[in-house]
Amino acid sequence: MPPEDHRENPASNRSEWSAVPRLWPFLWAWPARVLLAMALLFAAKLANVGLPLLLKQIVDTLDTDDLSLVALPVSLLLAYGGLRLMSTLFGELRDLAFGRVTEHAMREVALKVFNHLHALDLNFHLERRTGGLSRDIERGLNGINFLMRFMLFNILPTLLEIALVAGILFVGYGWSYAAITVVAVVGYIGFSIFATEWRTRFVREANKLDSRANTRAVDSLLNYETVKYFNNERYEAENYDSALANWEQALGKSRISAASLNSGQALIISVAATTMLMMAAQDVIDGSMTLGDLVLINAYILQLFMPLGFLGFVYREIKRSLADISRMFNLLDAEPRITDPKNAPQLSVADAAIRFNNVHFGYHHDRPILQGVDIDIQAGQTVAIVGASGAGKSTIARLLFRFYDINSGSIEIDGQNIRDVSWLSLRQHIGVVPQDTVLFNDTLEYNLRYGRPDANDAELQQVIQMAHLSDFVQRLPDGLNTVVGERGLKLSGGEKQRVAIARALLKNPEILIFDEATSSLDSDSEKAVLAAIQEVAANRTTLVIAHRLSTIIEADQIIVLEAGKVVETGNHKALLQQAGRYSQLWQLQQSEA
């Protein structure tokens, strides 16, 4: 088995705030919309700050002992209503202008992560858990949505509003009111940052345990049949419940820390608001302020501290969103081990001759798999590789497809070193029928067309016939529209293998690899699949990885591997005459049969 991937991830030690500049290129794809949204945001805040000023004028106009002498301040009331409408209207227009920017950024980030994951090597995907990986991407995209909505349109506008209110209070009522406002805001923000950093570890722990529980559930459901075979429903439920219990404990700690944070924030707001109202009330009694001034200060207190109270929640959620976004961006920082040299040319295949020249390879540096392997496959030949389990048979197929790079030596196709050409062009010329065929949970036609989605109906029918699938398709009530189920579970082993053969044929490659394609089949299915293999291997260079020697007796050349070395080469008849390792394996399998 390949080793676990312990490569260092440079993003894992970065501050979560480093995710913000990485988002900027995605946002700046729509510069006009961004600038328009910022202008509307500023206009909405100006309208919002102007409301208490108009309210003061209205109250002062009406503040007289003889109301019969007071004319209704219609213009002020209309202006107040207009400002309130503009404050809301500008906010809605801002959301409309910026909504497209956020949605486009989410789409671009999701596509970039998706493409990058497909570009990563096999080791990464063998190590990662699908459930946790999908959860990281989901939370990261939700984090982008939240960050764009609330950081740009809540925290920044609130800070702008605080600056405007502090300026108005300083100019109109002296430094004391402005000082209380600034001290309260700075104290609130400082306490929020300190306390939020303290509780972030609880949030991270809860997220980690949430991913672990989700991974446990996904793995169990993907292995539904295995669970049933061993009557382990209770065992799986207990494991899942144990993971959920740990997650529940972490959520409890997170909830207690949130209560402490909220209580501290409420105390700061209450002290500041009460102090300012007491000062304003005393100034009204002393005659240095009008009743309208008291209303204005009270309106600013409500207008300022209500969103500030919400600011604490938003900051905490922004920190959480940044952590989720950073975790998603960490995926982008994972470096693929299989890369192309600079300006790598396309692989040009004329004859499809393959040469393994003194190849050494090991998944671990201290455990070699292949040791000086030399294999020469002529154009159009069918070559079988046999040997005991662990001899390195499937490893040869993986190296040819360049799932891994060799430690030393070279692998050539038509004289071209596969490490010197584009790996994408290399894989375009190779079709693979794996031992364990995994199908998409879609229709039979979708899975067949996956070999070449743009193939026409005639080409599809041709490969169906070549893979001996015609009778099977005709027996299905829904024909090619039959849904094959998760991982193709609705099809038998032989049916899946023939689908895999047809899919590989539709790709129309010059090189075919059959990696123990019949090892798990019954005799009848094996005969059908073998007939299909022999037919489609004609005029193609074919590499057959085989365990059952009876399936490769017609091969042009048989290569016997032993402990990562080629010990015998020849056709079936010649190898039997040598009375060597192949002959021993043949006699052993015949006696078992």
Query: Which one, of 351, 431, 377, 392, lies nearest residue 557 by Cα?
Result: 377
- Class for the domain spanning 18-333: mainly alpha
The amino acid at residue 456 is N
Q: How confident is the model at residue 410 (pLDDT cuts 50, 70, 90)?
A: very high
Listed residue (140, 149, 260, 244) closest to 195, CA to CA = 260
pLDDT for 593: 59
Fold agreement (18-333, 434-508): no
User: How high is the pLDDT of residue 351?
Assistant: 86
What is the helix (H) or strand (E) element at residue 361, kind and residue range?
strand 354-361
Provide the pLDDT for residue 13: 42
**pLDDT for res 496:** 85
Among 265, 257, 275, smallest CA distance to 310 is for: 265
The CATH code for residues 434-508 is: 3.40.50.300
The band of 523, judged by pLDDT with boundaries at 50, 70 and 90, is: low
Model confidence over 198-239: pLDDT tens digits?
777 787 788 888 888 888 888 888 788 788 877 888 888 888
- Other CB atoms within a 10 A radius of the CB of residue 192 amount to 22
Domain range list for the chain: 18-333, 352-429+511-593, 434-508
Lowest pLDDT segment from 23-32, 209-218, 306-315, 353-362: 306-315
Q: Is the pLDDT of residue 43 over 80?
A: yes
Given a cut of 90, whether residue 363 has pLDDT beyond it is: no
**Per-residue pLDDT averaged across 475-484, rounded?**
86
Residue 50: pLDDT band by 50, 70, 90 thresholds? Answer: confident
Report the distance separating Cα 525 and Cα 454, nearest Å: 30
For the 352-429+511-593 domain, the top CATH level (class) is alpha beta
Q: Quick one: pLDDT at residue 360?
A: 92
> What span, in angstroms and rounded, lies between the C-alpha atoms of 98 and 272?
35
Residue 67 pLDDT greater than 60, yes or no: no
Query: Which is more confidently placed, 31 or 386?
Result: 386
Least confident of 443-452, 456-465, 517-526: 517-526
CA 181 to each of CA 171, 295, 301: distance values in angstroms, whole numbers, following the listed order = 13, 16, 9
pLDDT higher than 70, residue 368: yes
- What pLDDT is stored for residue 75 in this prediction? 78
Per-residue three-class SS string for 12-43 = HHCCHHHHHHHHHHHHCCCHHHHHHHHHHHHH
Report pLDDT digits (tens) over 252-305. 888 887 788 788 878 888 888 888 888 888 887 887 777 887 888 777 777 777
d(CA 387, CA 546): 8
**Band of the pLDDT at 4, cuts 50, 70, 90?**
very low
246-260, 461-475, 529-543: least confidently modelled range: 529-543
pLDDT above 80 for 316: no
Report residue 71's pLDDT band, with 50, 70 and 90 as the boundaries: low
Q: Which residue has the higher pLDDT, 117 or 27?
A: 117
- pLDDT tens-digit readout, 544-578: 888 888 888 888 899 999 888 889 899 889 989 88
Query: Which residues pair with residue 19 across a beta bridge?
Result: none
pLDDT given at position 212? 83
Please compute the mean of the pLDDT values over residues 337-361 and round it to a whole number. Answer: 88
Quote the DSSP letter at residue 364. Answer: B
Nearest to 373 by CA among 343, 352, 348, 400: 400
